[in-house]
C-alpha cells in the first residue's frame, strides 16, 4: 500500500495533450480500457473544463495510520489491484484512517467521478429546496420554460431527482446509436456527428416521452442535467459556480474540483466532475453528519434524512440494482441499499464510489478504471468490499 500526504474568477480551461503517453487516448477511445487508466486522471487534457472553486483554507481530515488498511485487512492490496483501483480513502468520524493510491496517482490527483457527479447535483438542489427557491412538487417547466415541450416539462422536480420520469432515453454506454452516446458527443466527450444538437440545452429540449411520470424508476443521465439547468435558472449563475458557492467551498476541501464544459458553456452535471479522493470523501462526511461538516451547516438534516430514507423500492422492482440490493431505492440522486445497516452510496461507471455506512460512522471513497462501464458482478463485489472495510475499522 502507498500512503501519501496531500500536499474567484471562473476560467474555462481548454484541453491539452502535453504529457499524454505514447499511443495517447483520443476522443473516441479515452473512456475505454486501457486508455481510461490514464485518461480518468487527465480529463482536462482531453475535454474543456471549468473550475469548481474551494476556499483557500481547508479543514484537515487528520493523520493517516501507516499501512492501516493492509493491517486491518490482510490481502486487501491484491483485491484493490484486481478491481482496477486508482485511489481509495477511508474516513472514520472525521479522520482518514487509511488510503491507497496506485502508481501514477497521488492524494492531490484529480479523478473523474462519472455519475457520482449526480449525487453532488442532488445536494446542490437540496440547498435550493432548503431556502425555498425550489419546490419539489412544482413542474420543471416552471423553472425552465425552454423544456415545456420536452419529456421533462410536466415532470416534477422530485420525479427528476428520483429518476421516475417517463422519457425515451437509451443509457447503453456501448451503443453508438444510444442517447447517452449522443449526449456525450454534445458534451464534447466524443467526436461530434452531423445533425447533433448544438449543446446540452438543445439536446435536453429535444427529448420526448410518454408523460407517465412517477410510476417506475428509469435511470437516465439527462435528468441530472435538467436539474443543473434548474440550478442555473434559479441562481442566475453557471452550474460550476453554483456548486462552488453552495457546496464545494463549504466542505473544507483541499483542492478545487473541475467540470467538463460543452460548446454552450454548460457544465456536464451528470458525469463531468473531477476531484481528489480525499475531497470526495468529504461529501460522504457531509451526508454522515446529516448536512453538517466541520461545524458548518451546508444542507439541512431534513434533506439528508429524506434522501437516506426516501425513494420507492416498488418503482425499482426488477432492476439490476435490486438484484444486488433487494428492497433498495433511488432517492435525490443517491442509491439507498435498503439493508439493515442503513448504508447508501453514490456510484459512477467504471467504478467511482462514495460509500456511507452510518452503522460504523465510516465513509469510503474509491476511484477505479474498470474495463467495463458497469456489471452486476462488479457492483456486488464492491458492496461486499466496502462493508468489510467498514467493519474492519469498527473493531
Provide the CATH number for the domain around residue 119: 3.40.710.10
* Per-residue pLDDT at 16: 46
CA distance 140 to 329: 22
Q: Could you tell me if 110 and 255 are in contact, meaning their C-beta atoms sit under 8 angstroms apart?
A: yes
CA distance 205 to 216: 22
Within a domain: residue 181?
Answer: yes
Within a domain: residue 187?
Answer: yes
Within a domain: residue 40?
Answer: yes
Within a domain: residue 17?
Answer: no
DSSP conformation letters of 285-304: HHHHTTTEETTEE-S-HHHH
Q: Total structural domains in the chain?
A: 1
**Cell representation of residue 126:** 437540496
Q: Tens of pLDDT along the chain (395 residues)?
A: 222 222 233 445 555 444 445 578 899 999 999 999 999 999 999 999 999 999 866 666 655 543 678 788 888 999 999 999 999 999 998 889 999 999 999 999 999 999 999 999 999 999 999 999 999 999 999 999 999 999 999 999 999 999 999 999 999 999 999 999 999 999 999 999 999 999 999 999 999 999 999 999 999 999 999 999 999 999 999 999 999 999 999 999 999 999 999 999 999 999 999 999 999 999 999 999 999 999 999 999 999 999 999 999 999 998 999 999 999 999 999 999 999 999 999 999 999 999 999 999 999 999 999 999 999 999 999 999 999 999 998 76
* Per-residue pLDDT at 68: 77
Within a domain: residue 156?
Answer: yes
* Per-residue pLDDT at 166: 98
**Type and span of the H or E element at 335:** strand 334-336
Gyration radius from the chain CA atoms: 19
Please give the residue range of the domain that contains residue 308: 36-392
* Per-residue pLDDT at 59: 65
Within a domain: residue 42?
Answer: yes
CA distance 21 to 17: 9
Catalytic residue of the set 44, 115, 274, 368: 115
Please tell me whether the peptide bond between 34 and the residue prior to it is cis, using omega within 30 degrees of 0: yes
Work out the number of other CB atoms within 10 angstroms of the CB of residue 187: 26
CA distance 343 to 170: 29
Q: Could you tell me if 386 and 353 are in contact, meaning their C-beta atoms sit under 8 angstroms apart?
A: yes
Within a domain: residue 382?
Answer: yes
**Cell representation of residue 60:** 484537515
* Per-residue pLDDT at 19: 46
How far is residue 394 from each of residues 250, 301, 353, 355, 363, measured CA to CA in Å? 28, 25, 20, 15, 12
CA distance 332 to 339: 18
CA distance 363 to 97: 10
* Number of helices followed by number of strands (H, E) in the chain: 13, 13
**Cell representation of residue 375:** 456489471
Within a domain: residue 182?
Answer: yes
CA distance 5 to 36: 25
Give the single-character DSSP code of 15.
P
Work out the number of other CB atoms within 10 angstroms of the CB of residue 19: 9
CA distance 121 to 171: 19
| Global pTM value | 0.93
Sign of CA dihedral 358, 359, 361, 365: negative
150 in catalytic set: no
Amino acid at each position: 500500500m502507498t500512503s501519501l500526504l496531500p500536499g474567484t474568477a471562473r476560467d474555462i480551461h481548454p484541453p491539452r495533450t502535453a504529457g499524454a503517453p505514447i499511443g495517447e487516448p483520443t476522443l473516441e477511445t479515452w473512456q475505454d480500457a486501457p486508455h481510461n487508466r490514464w485518461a480518468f486522471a487527465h480529463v482536462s487534457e482531453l475535454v474543456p473544463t471549468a473550475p469548481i472553486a474551494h476556499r483557500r483554507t481547508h479543514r484537515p481530515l487528520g493523520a493517516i495510520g501507516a499501512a492501516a488498511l493492509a493491517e486491518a485487512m490482510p490481502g486487501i492490496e491484491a483485491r484493490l489491484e484486481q478491481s482496477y483501483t486508482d485511489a481509495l480513502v477511508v474516513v472514520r468520524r472525521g479522520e482518514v484512517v487509511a488510503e491507497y493510491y496506485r502508481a501514477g496517482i497521488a492524494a492531490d490527483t484529480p479523478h473523474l467521478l462519472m455519475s457520482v457527479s449526480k449525487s453532488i447535483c442532488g445536494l446542490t438542489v437540496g440547498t435550493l429546496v432548503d431556502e425555498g427557491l425550489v419546490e419539489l412538487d412544482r413542474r420543471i417547466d416552471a423553472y425552465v420554460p425552454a423544456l415545456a415541450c420536452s419529456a421533462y416539462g410536466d415532470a416534477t422536480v422530485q420525479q427528476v431527482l428520483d429518476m421516475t420520469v417517463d422519457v425515451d432515453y437509451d443509457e447503453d454506454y456501448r451503443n453508438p446509436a444510444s442517447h447517452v452516446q449522443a449526449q456525450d458527443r454534445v458534451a464534447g466527450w466524443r467526436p461530434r456527428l452531423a445533425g447533433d444538437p448544438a449543446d446540452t440545452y438543445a439536446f435536453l429540449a429535444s427529448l420526448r416521452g410518454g408523460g407517465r411520470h412517477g410510476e417506475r424508476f428509469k435511470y437516465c443521465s439527462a435528468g441530472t442535467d435538467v436539474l443543473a439547468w434548474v440550478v442555473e435558472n434559479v441562481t442566475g449563475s453557471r452550474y460550476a459556480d453554483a456548486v462552488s458557492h453552495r457546496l464545494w467551498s463549504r466542505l473544507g476541501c483541499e483542492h478545487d474540483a473541475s467540470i467538463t464544459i460543452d460548446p454552450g458553456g454548460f457544465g456536464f452535471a451528470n458525469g463531468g466532475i473531477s476531484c481528489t479522493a480525499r475531497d470526495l470523501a468529504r461529501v460522504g462526511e457531509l451526508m454522515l453528519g446529516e448536512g453538517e461538516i466541520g461545524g458548518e451547516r451546508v444542507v439541512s438534516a431534513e434533506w439528508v434524512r429524506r434522501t437516506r430514507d426516501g425513494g420507492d423500492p416498488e418503482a425499482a422492482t426488477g432492476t439490476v440494482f435490486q438484484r444486488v440490493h433487494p428492497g433498495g431505492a433511488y432517492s435525490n440522486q443517491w442509491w439507498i441499499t435498503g439493508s439493515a445497516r442503513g448504508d447508501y452510496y453514490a456510484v459512477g461507471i467504471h467504478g467511482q464510489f462514495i460509500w456511507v455506512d452510518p452503522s460504523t460512522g465510516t465513509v469510503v471513497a474509491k476511484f477505479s478504471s474498470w474495463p467495463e462501464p458497469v456489471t452486476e458482478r462488479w457492483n456486488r463485489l464492491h458492496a461486499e468490499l466496502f462493508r468489510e472495510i467498514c467493519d474492519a475499522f469498527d473493531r
